[in-house]
Amino acid sequence: MRMSRIGVTLFGVALLCSTSAFAGDENKGILRLDEKLTVAGTALNPGEYKLEWSGSGPDVQVKVLKGHDTVATFPAHVTEQKVPVKANAYGSDAAADGGKTLTSVYFGGKHYALQVEPVAAQNRQGNSTASK
């Protein structure tokens, strides 16, 4: 009887640890760029980047990492996707300077995406926090 309690306890601990390991991956993703894009005033060259985000609720702060170095940070909004995309993808829009800006990031097989806050909204947030 005692051995079965120990076994159940160990199984429960292992289950909790594996759940927390999977939960940690929910705030991470890969962004593969085929073209040069700008996000939050930072130019990102074509290549692979790791995204990590934190925040409570749908509004998050995203870090763009190249290797172990943070190359950009920007605010974003987590949105629900009714149908997940098959592979990682991103959206972009034409910028005033003739380049392109990152507007969204979609993660293959996931029911969520990141919508990049427009530059005007980023500036308003920066001004409102600076004046407080």
The pTM of this model reads 0.72
Please enumerate in sequence order all residues whose Cβ is within 8 A of that of 42, keeping only pairs 6 or more positions apart, or say none.
64, 71, 72
pLDDT by residue for the chain (132 residues), tens digit each? 555 555 444 444 443 443 333 345 689 999 999 999 999 999 999 999 999 999 988 999 999 999 999 999 999 999 999 999 999 999 999 998 999 999 999 999 999 999 999 865 444 444 444 333
Nearest to 27 by CA among 49, 53, 50, 56: 53
